[in-house]
Structures are given as C-alpha cells and as structure tokens.
C-alpha cells in the first residue's frame, strides 16, 4: 500500500489564521493525520507577490493570474504597503490546536520570503540566525523542540545543511525528489535525512492551466504502489480557494493510502543506509523560478532500494 504524507506548509498569517482551521476540520472529518510546517516569523508575502510581477514567461503569467485568487489582497500588501504581522505569534492557539488534534508540527523557517529569495547568497551566520529565531519562537509558543524542518520555497543550500545538522532537528523536508536521502551541496554532506516532496502540488497543476477536478484526478493517478509519497499542500491554497479540491482529493486517496507523519517516517530511517544525492536547482512544470531537487537517480546508486 502507498504511504502518503500530507505536508502542510503555512507561509502566511492568512494561512495560519484562516486556512489552518479549515484544513483541521477537513482532516478531522476524514480522520487523516498530517504534518504541518509553520513559518514562525513575519509575513512578508507582499514581497513574494511583487516577485511574481518581475518574473517572465508563460508559467509566471499563469501563477500571477492565480496569485490574488489564492492569496487574497491583504496578503499581497504585507511587507510592502502594510507592515507584515508575526505569523506564529498572531495565533499561538492555532499551533497548539494542530498538535492537540494529533498532527505533527514542525518549522517552516522564520521569514519565508527572505529565505526563499535570498538563501542561495546567505552566509552561514545569517542562515543560523533565521533558524535560531524560528526555534526561539517555537520554544516560547509551543514548548519543546520541533523534530522537522521544511525549507521555505524548497530552497536548500550548503550553509542551510550545515545549520540544520546542528539540531534539534531529526529530519528535514526541504527539496523535491523521489525518496529519502542524505543531501549534498558543494561537498557539504548532510547528516539528518531529507524526505523530499514527491508529488506535484495542486497550485502547480493549476499553474499549468488545469481545472481543480482534473488536477485532483492527475494527482491521484500518480501514486506509486508501495512507495512513500509526500504531497505538499499550502494552508493559503488548499485551506482557501482550493478547499473543495482538497476535500475531493482526500476522498479519492483515503481508501488507497496509509497516511503517516513525516516524523514517524524519519525515525524509522537509518541515515547510514540512505543514498547520498546531490541537490541541484531545477524547474518544475507550473511553478515559476527554481527549487532544490534531489538529483535524479543514476543506474545502480540504490535509490530504488530505499523504497
Ligand atoms: Zn512555504
């Protein structure tokens, strides 16, 4: 049977305060457990929306036309014309509710937009500062230590690998790929496992111009039997304009998969037995800009064997 992780990224204030409660209701109704990753710091999504407008090409155009529908007007102004609210601090009860309802809660960086746009050029101490700020907020609002870190915008760097290996994280889910591995960038080899997102996201399918029904059918058809699949959903998207599609997706998948937490997967992995894979920048259909990807399996490197 296919094991499926629903990885819920919460990038914005809107996503935490409005998207998360809706998603929690859907998940409870369908008795599905998910792994949530919350951006702990300021909401600067207006700067991300500004980024959409400077990108060229067909995909950027599609993403742009979806952006306001998916994110709303207020979010589009945070960090530009309006000051950005502190995401986690605005709704600590939401964080506790995620855990209280049996879901996993991890960290999705501090300032999502800063990490997404700047990580490739950030030195080690700047990356460490972002991770420390996120951890301090998590400890204060939630208590204890998070097990998982999910990089904002699927952006990973050598500096980020080094910082995340210092703990307390036991795994990360920061790239797009096919199966768990140890990531290597520029000769820096990670210690903790990387469990990549394996499936396209709903907003990428919409970015290709598909309607929501077709997008859900395509996603359901992609599940590999007996594999581990990780589907990233966004609190702003599936918990907002695409809620109906998300419910439809859960209904389609519920009978066919076993839902798991990323933390449970991570604890069952032996890092010494995981393949080492380079992380490379790649472009994905329906997504503007590049993301960090697990380099495709070359023959005989054992990637399939880890399934
Ligand atoms: Zn995100």
Q: What is the pLDDT of residue 30?
A: 94
H or E element in which residue 280 lies: strand 276-283
Taking the centre of ligand 1 as the mean of its atom positions, its distance from the CA of residue 7, in whole angstroms, is: 10
Higher per-residue confidence, 307 vs 74: 74
Angle (nearest 5°) at CA 13 between 107 and 62:
95
Taking the centre of ligand 1 as the mean of its atom positions, its distance from the CA of residue 11, in whole angstroms, is: 5
Instruction: Specify which residues 99 forms β-bridges with.
Output: none
Angle (nearest 5°) at CA 293 between 3 and 171:
55
Whether residue 302 is predicted with pLDDT greater than 60 in this model: the reply is no
Distance CA 293, CA 175 (A): 5
Q: What is the pLDDT of residue 83?
A: 78
- Average pLDDT of span 78-100: 89
Question: Mean pLDDT for the chain?
Answer: 90
Taking the centre of ligand 1 as the mean of its atom positions, its distance from the CA of residue 118, in whole angstroms, is: 14
Taking the centre of ligand 1 as the mean of its atom positions, its distance from the CA of residue 231, in whole angstroms, is: 13
Taking the centre of ligand 1 as the mean of its atom positions, its distance from the CA of residue 235, in whole angstroms, is: 9
Taking the centre of ligand 1 as the mean of its atom positions, its distance from the CA of residue 115, in whole angstroms, is: 10
Whether residue 298 is predicted with pLDDT greater than 50 in this model: the reply is no
Whether residue 81 is predicted with pLDDT greater than 80 in this model: the reply is no
Distance CA 34, CA 89 (A): 22
Higher per-residue confidence, 94 vs 73: 94
Whether residue 299 is predicted with pLDDT greater than 50 in this model: the reply is no
Taking the centre of ligand 1 as the mean of its atom positions, its distance from the CA of residue 300, in whole angstroms, is: 33
Higher per-residue confidence, 208 vs 230: 230
Distance CA 212, CA 47 (A): 27
Whether residue 145 is predicted with pLDDT greater than 60 in this model: the reply is yes
């Amino acid at each position: 049977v296919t094991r499926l992780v629903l990885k819920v990224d919460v990038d914005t204030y809107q996503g935490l305060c409005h998207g998360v409660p809706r998603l929690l209701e859907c998940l409870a109704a369908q008795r599905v457990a998910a792994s949530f990753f919350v951006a702990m710091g300021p909401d600067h999504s207006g700067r991300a929306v500004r980024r959409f407008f400077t990108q060229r090409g067909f995909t950027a155009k599609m993403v742009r036309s979806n952006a306001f529908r998916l994110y709303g007007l207020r979010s589009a102004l945070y960090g530009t014309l309006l000051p950005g609210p502190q995401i986690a601090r605005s709704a600590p009860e939401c964080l506790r509710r995620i855990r209280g309802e049996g879901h996993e809660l991890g960290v999705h960086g501090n300032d999502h937009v800063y990490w997404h746009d700047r990580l490739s050029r950030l030195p080690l101490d700047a990356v460490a500062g972002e991770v420390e700020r996120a951890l301090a907020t998590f400890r204060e609002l939630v208590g204890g230590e998070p097990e998982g870190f999910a990089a904002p915008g699927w952006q990973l760097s050598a500096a980020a690998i080094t910082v995340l290996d210092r703990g307390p994280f036991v795994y990360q889910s920061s790239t797009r790929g096919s199966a768990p591995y140890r990531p290597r960038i520029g000769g820096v080899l990670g210690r903790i496992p990387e469990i990549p997102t394996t499936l396209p996201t709903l907003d990428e399918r919409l970015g290709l111009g598909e309607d929501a029904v077709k997008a859900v059918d395509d996603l359901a058809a992609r599940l590999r039997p007996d594999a581990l699949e990780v589907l990233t959903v966004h609190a702003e998207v599936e918990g907002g304009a695409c809620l109906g599609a998300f419910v439809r997706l859960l209904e389609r998948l519920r009978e066919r998969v076993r839902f798991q937490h990323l933390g449970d997967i991570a604890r069952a992995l032996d890092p010494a037995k995981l393949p080492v894979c380079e992380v490379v920048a790649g472009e994905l259909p329906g997504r503007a800009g590049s993301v960090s990807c697990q380099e495709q399996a070359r023959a005989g490197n054992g990637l399939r064997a880890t399934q």
